[in-house]
Structure 1
């Protein structure tokens, strides 16, 4: 016996809404987008041309697709006819994949996504689901939509440009000696630019034209042969000059694209080549990508930013500014790992933002070990005479203050160091253990007192019980976000190119991640409430709670 199944039976079509479960992700997407103020959509208004699809509807179908790991515009367009979720959100309207892709990269999308994050954070705070006292910051690398063999490296460009300019200088000197061109540079070591090469090319064209006119006016065969031979040399030189000019313009443009970076991809010039953790071949191959910085609390993403530099140290300053200016959220405690623990970052957090940094420095954990504390050859464990400003080494010799010195790093930051030196280390039984350098005769110590102050402050801050508990939560909080993003949401590689478009796609993915996480927590608490019958298990039964009553999608992609 089979259940009744008849394709020829006439049925009355039902409203799709009644077929959507209350705890479906589509309901979550709809409620979130509807909670965004109308002012956030004003940037999509236009007063000329044909009418367009409503931005709320477009935002809903794209966000619903991202929440189901569907990132292609064509596949999202296919959901409009295949998925009940998306059919309900679009109210049976079917924008083309081109319309979806154009909306996704609209210039106002960045502001709309930021407003969505602000609204979502406000609802999290209303439901007491995040701690307003701290944010956890970390970074991960995501692969760009670029070919891995389209790299341009700064060192290679500079090397080829240097060789090209040497050839250009030789050509300029030859043409100047032959009085073909006037003096174009004032100093002998001045570089020959593309403008100089263009002037040289024009001068050679003039010489070629004059020689052609001379050939036409000359009747003697031998004279014509000599002039043609000279014109041939001029033509070859002109061709060579044009080639040098094009290459000079190419290298100059590449250096302008590089900016402060060491590499970029020809496919996506905003992407930088960096090492990825997803290295299946294990050959350390560089891939074009972006450095994603995320601020989270209770595994909810509260803000994000993308940077082209692969290291995290230089991203903290601009990222905190982004959190404060764009996402309007920068709590009292900034929690990050040792990769952010630099003198500039400590000083910035304390002086510029007046916040507390729960960030260890690079040797913080090493200093906690017994081997470090009992190493009598390490200057940090030597006796220090505050009154005379000197150190006493294990052999009893004095290392006195000698002078101040300034050191400037590759980023232009100047640090003031105190140099300590011993008068005589000859005859010391521990000389070979103490002095490792062949260029150094007596012991010398460099101390950055400003950094030492911040290191002592970091040790004191992290030793507090309350702060230690917050820092221990860091790995559980931020690393889970990256795991959910890459593993559960399958967001490992961008589908668009360019920093602006990549930022929009990242925001949509992280917003979808937040929705899934919120619904998971709410579903667990609702289930617990249903079993215990105790309404105190619920966070809040206010309209804000009811708005987010169904935000997780354990169901398959298509409904």
Structure 2
């Protein structure tokens, strides 16, 4: 019997259709692109329209460009060139853009410039819509932060410590030559007063160089090495001081920055594939979540979470008109300043302090028998009782100030006759009589936090935090591959992270 030929479905690229299909028919009803389209259509686009001029040629509609950008971030397409290609090739983007084909310059300019003042309002409206649908709560939030690498060269760094070291070297060289000038001078009256370089700046260096040149101008047989050093000082010191002062202005309160993105600070990243603790330029991104939706976001140049909470809460108040009713966070936020702020705002603070987890262990408690917070306090006589039963009397206050300017007051109490005490060396390590410093305000706030965290509600919030805020970062970084910003500068980075936040919320709503 002859073999039968295989049967194929009809295939004719040039077949003319009587009723050609539309893009609408090709997209499933439950597809994520429809969720993006529906939600963006419901927001007020007036903040976007104000970024355009009334004169000149026509522009692509900002609503269309916003949909393309947001859906691009939903689909892990972050490059403006890839978004340009998607508007020509991908039916979802073609449907969103109504067959418009914006080029990558238009998309990039819209993202970097047009959204600068409007994206926060867009994000807030999206959050409000989701809250109205009962998907999230603005009042009960979970806060955490992560570091994301900046689009900057990790080898173009500027360090505050290096600037300070170089300034000290300049002071030493000027003082060295001044000492030489004194040694070769006939009388001390020949020289003016030595330059005051206690605090060094450009004006003082300029004055010191002028004095050195004047002091050595008429001297003969000057040592060749000294002459070479003086020539080097004349040639380079003023120029270097000008550079250092410009760099210090950029640094502000930070310890470092990258020359290719001056807003980025060098930080240790968790995603360190070399596993050598290498510092990389990055930003500290803070988010507050509810039911794994992002409710609030802020970008910070400082690597520690402790100093970010005040600005983060201020942004929440600005966005929604009030502070949240409760906030849950890990021990990275447990400082006196943050506790005091949350108390002032009447926010229930389910925030751990540094040793909270350790204090739950009996083994740790046994090791802390001689700690200052374990000593008995006699309120009537304002004194602490040491482990041997001796009184520790009040000897004065000490005041400290944090890097953010928050002032702390410590009351100091000193023991007596520690040298003859049988517990000497076990109770404390000092060779003098033991002194303890008590921050009464912090102790009160920590006790308040301890009671709140160990309440039934506190235990529930502590358990929920682990699977509410932390998975959001894991989803963004690992599932959607966003581990490095594409734009440079804090303002543009805020736009990019805002798009990430909107995309995450819409993706979760669609799911």
TM-score by length of 1: 0.80
Q: What residue is the counterpart of 2:62 in the other structure? A: 55
The within-5 A match list for 1:515-534 is: 515-520=506-511
Higher RCO, Cα 8 Å, sep 6+:
1
- 1:350 is displaced (CA, Å) by 1.1
Q: What residue is the counterpart of 1:127 in the other structure? A: 133
- 1:173 is displaced (CA, Å) by 10
- 1:97 is displaced (CA, Å) by 0.5
- 1:191 is displaced (CA, Å) by 6.1
Judged with a 3 Å threshold, the aligned counterparts in structure 2 of structure 1 residues 433 and 328 are, in CA distance, closer, same or farther, namely same
2:154 matches 1:163: no
Which of 365, 374, 378 is equivalent to 1:381?
374
Secondary structure in structure 2 of the residue aligned to 1:433: coil
Secondary structure in structure 2 of the residue aligned to 1:105: helix
**Structure 1 CA distance for aligned equivalents of residues 160 and 227 of structure 2:** 34
Q: What residue is the counterpart of 2:97 in the other structure? A: 90
Post-superposition CA distance 1:311-350 (Å, at most 9, x none): 0000000110011113546321111111101101111111
**Structure 2 CA distance for aligned equivalents of residues 172 and 86 of structure 1:** 72
- Kept in 1: contact 2:138–2:295 (CA 8 A): no
**Structure 1 CA distance for aligned equivalents of residues 232 and 450 of structure 2:** 66
Q: What residue is the counterpart of 2:196 in the other structure? A: 188
Q: What residue is the counterpart of 1:539 in the other structure? A: none
- Kept in 1: contact 2:158–2:259 (CA 8 A): yes
Judged with a 3 Å threshold, the aligned counterparts in structure 2 of structure 1 residues 203 and 311 are, in CA distance, closer, same or farther, namely closer
Q: What residue is the counterpart of 1:222 in the other structure? A: none
Judged with a 3 Å threshold, the aligned counterparts in structure 2 of structure 1 residues 431 and 168 are, in CA distance, closer, same or farther, namely closer
Judged with a 3 Å threshold, the aligned counterparts in structure 2 of structure 1 residues 346 and 10 are, in CA distance, closer, same or farther, namely same
2:421 matches 1:428: yes
**Structure 2 CA distance for aligned equivalents of residues 256 and 153 of structure 1:** 12
Judged with a 3 Å threshold, the aligned counterparts in structure 2 of structure 1 residues 250 and 434 are, in CA distance, closer, same or farther, namely same
**Structure 2 CA distance for aligned equivalents of residues 130 and 409 of structure 1:** 35
- 1:406 is displaced (CA, Å) by 2.1
Post-superposition CA distance 1:448-499 (Å, at most 9, x none): 0011110111112222212321232111100011111111221110111111
Judged with a 3 Å threshold, the aligned counterparts in structure 2 of structure 1 residues 450 and 241 are, in CA distance, closer, same or farther, namely same
Q: What residue is the counterpart of 2:219 in the other structure? A: none
**Structure 2 CA distance for aligned equivalents of residues 468 and 246 of structure 1:** 59
**Structure 2 CA distance for aligned equivalents of residues 141 and 27 of structure 1:** 32
- 1:389 is displaced (CA, Å) by 2.5
Q: What residue is the counterpart of 2:143 in the other structure? A: 137
Out of 505-514 and 2-11, give the one that drifted further.
Answer: 2-11
- Kept in 2: contact 1:168–1:192 (CA 8 A): no
2:365 matches 1:365: no
- 1:306 is displaced (CA, Å) by 0.5
- 1:32 is displaced (CA, Å) by 1.8
2:83 matches 1:76: yes
**Structure 2 CA distance for aligned equivalents of residues 189 and 315 of structure 1:** 36
**Structure 1 CA distance for aligned equivalents of residues 211 and 435 of structure 2:** 61
Q: What residue is the counterpart of 2:3 in the other structure? A: none
- 1:430 is displaced (CA, Å) by 1.7
Which of 442, 455, 461 is equivalent to 2:446?
455
Which of 16, 21, 45 is equivalent to 1:10?
16
Judged with a 3 Å threshold, the aligned counterparts in structure 2 of structure 1 residues 193 and 430 are, in CA distance, closer, same or farther, namely closer
**Structure 2 CA distance for aligned equivalents of residues 507 and 49 of structure 1:** 29
Q: Over aligned residue pairs, what C-alpha RMSD do you find?
A: 2.9
Judged with a 3 Å threshold, the aligned counterparts in structure 2 of structure 1 residues 238 and 428 are, in CA distance, closer, same or farther, namely closer
- Kept in 2: contact 1:44–1:55 (CA 8 A): no
Judged with a 3 Å threshold, the aligned counterparts in structure 2 of structure 1 residues 329 and 493 are, in CA distance, closer, same or farther, namely farther
- Kept in 2: contact 1:338–1:362 (CA 8 A): yes
2:47 matches 1:40: yes
Post-superposition CA distance 1:181-225 (Å, at most 9, x none): xx9999633767546777999999xxxxxxxxxxxxxxxxxxxxx
Unaligned runs of 5+ in 2: 1-6, 186-190, 213-225
Secondary structure in structure 1 of the residue aligned to 2:425: helix
- 1:397 is displaced (CA, Å) by 2.4
- 1:99 is displaced (CA, Å) by 0.8
Q: Which runs of 4+ in 1 moved over 6 A?
A: 169-177, 183-186, 196-204, 233-239
Q: What residue is the counterpart of 1:529 in the other structure? A: none
Secondary structure in structure 2 of the residue aligned to 1:371: helix
Q: What residue is the counterpart of 2:156 in the other structure? A: 150
- Kept in 2: contact 1:485–1:510 (CA 8 A): no
Number of equivalences: 484
Secondary structure in structure 2 of the residue aligned to 1:400: strand
Q: What residue is the counterpart of 1:302 in the other structure? A: 295
Which of 18, 22, 27 is equivalent to 1:20?
27
- Kept in 1: contact 2:160–2:251 (CA 8 A): yes
Unaligned runs of 5+ in 1: 178-182, 205-232, 521-559
**Structure 2 CA distance for aligned equivalents of residues 421 and 197 of structure 1:** 47
**Structure 1 CA distance for aligned equivalents of residues 408 and 124 of structure 2:** 38
Q: What residue is the counterpart of 2:348 in the other structure? A: 356
- Kept in 1: contact 2:313–2:323 (CA 8 A): yes
Judged with a 3 Å threshold, the aligned counterparts in structure 2 of structure 1 residues 3 and 175 are, in CA distance, closer, same or farther, namely farther
Out of 190-199 and 128-137, give the one that drifted further.
Answer: 190-199
**Structure 2 CA distance for aligned equivalents of residues 268 and 38 of structure 1:** 31
- 1:256 is displaced (CA, Å) by 0.9
Judged with a 3 Å threshold, the aligned counterparts in structure 2 of structure 1 residues 396 and 56 are, in CA distance, closer, same or farther, namely same
- Kept in 1: contact 2:376–2:384 (CA 8 A): yes
The within-5 A match list for 1:434-453 is: 434-437=427-430, 440-453=431-444
